Amino acid sequence: MTQRLPRPAAGPPWEAPPEAEPVLAPEPVIRLTSVVKTYGTGEAAVHALRGVSLDVAQRDYVAIMGASGSGKSTMMNIIGCLDVPSEGEFLIDGIDTSRLDEQQLAMVRNRKIGFVFQAFNLIPRMTALANVELPLSYAGLRAAERRLRAEAALRLVGLAERMNAQPKQLSGGQQQRVAVARALVTAPSLILADEPTGNLDTKASADLMGVFDRLNAAGRTIVLITHEADVAAHAKRAISVQDGHIVTDRRVTAADAYPPLLRQPASQP
């Protein structure tokens, strides 16, 4: 038993020392517990994930690395509620996803998550603005409101001048920034990106990572898959996956710190 000091006799309220409030650790955005994913059965079974446990805190910025076929996209698809584990548990914002039906999963996806893929997946013959507005039409917003929000998202990724261009009139880097604006426009707390710089040159990759850095500094949690060390260097935490297992998990800077490669605003004198 721990010995405790006797409490001082209560004085007048204005002298009373403040009681220590119990501090609740904020819920992780993502919690995977012993997640197994097997495609197919019997002889043909592919063991894509063989027991993955992972917590991702709010505001964290995580890079997932690993050879082709190691299970990265499978993990991302589960985190993104696009697929479900064969075994184990997956919680998003504390919600046990195994208790949700298809429609509820779709709602979680639309409200909480923004996706960015390697192939930009923009709709051709639609302007950048119309592409970015699309997720808002699904959310049932009015036209004027959709337009305002889509414009704001495009400004945020540095495309204020190209809002009316169609994908084919934009460079790869610009198209991917439109895709990021589309991922952002519903104000998701979590952004998932599967090899977002895979089709970009060095300069466009650096620009895109600058956008992710700023989004993270503004409070969004980011999980991205990459093959490139200089892309992973933007993250606060680097995880590597091998043969369906997490094999290393390296913390570079605290989840609530400034992203390591983002230039900090000059401190006030």
Judged by beta carbon, residue 60 or residue 195, the one nearer ligand ADP is 195
Q: Which residues bind ligand ADP (CB under 6 A)?
A: 39-40, 46, 48, 66, 68-74
Structure tokens at 155: 């400004």
Distance CA 11, CA 181 (A): 58
Residue 69 partner contact from Mg ion, ligand ADP, none using kind-dependent CB cut-offs of 5 to 8 Å:
ligand ADP
Q: How many residues of this chain interact with Mg ion, rule: CB under 5 A?
A: 2
CB 246 within 8 A of CB 239: yes
Which residue, 84, 112, 118, is CA-closest to 194? Answer: 118
Radius of gyration of the CA atoms of the chain, in A: 22
Rounded to a whole number of angstroms, the minimum distance from the CB of residue 75 to ligand ADP is 7
**Residue window 49-78: x/- pattern of binding to Mg ion, with contact defined by CB under 5 A:** -----------------------xx-----
Distance CA 109, CA 231 (A): 25
Q: Does 205 bind Mg ion (CB under 5 A)?
A: no
**Residue window 228-247: x/- pattern of binding to Mg ion, with contact defined by CB under 5 A:** --------------------
| Residue closest to Mg ion when measured from CB atoms | 73
What residue has token string 């934009």? 170
Distance CA 138, CA 26 (A): 31
Rounded to a whole number of angstroms, the minimum distance from the CB of residue 213 to ligand ADP is 24
Rounded to a whole number of angstroms, the minimum distance from the CB of residue 69 to Mg ion is 8
Cβ-proximal residues to 18 (8 Å cutoff; 6+ apart), any chain = none
Cα dist. 101→38, 74, 98, 108 in Å?
Answer: 20, 20, 8, 11
Judged by beta carbon, residue 69 or residue 260, the one nearer ligand ADP is 69
Residue 48 partner contact from ligand ADP, Mg ion, none using kind-dependent CB cut-offs of 5 to 8 Å:
ligand ADP
Judged by beta carbon, residue 151 or residue 195, the one nearer ligand ADP is 195
Q: Are strands 113-116 and 190-194 parallel, antiparallel or unpaired?
A: parallel
Judged by beta carbon, residue 185 or residue 241, the one nearer Mg ion is 241
Binding site for Mg ion (CB under 5 A): 72-73
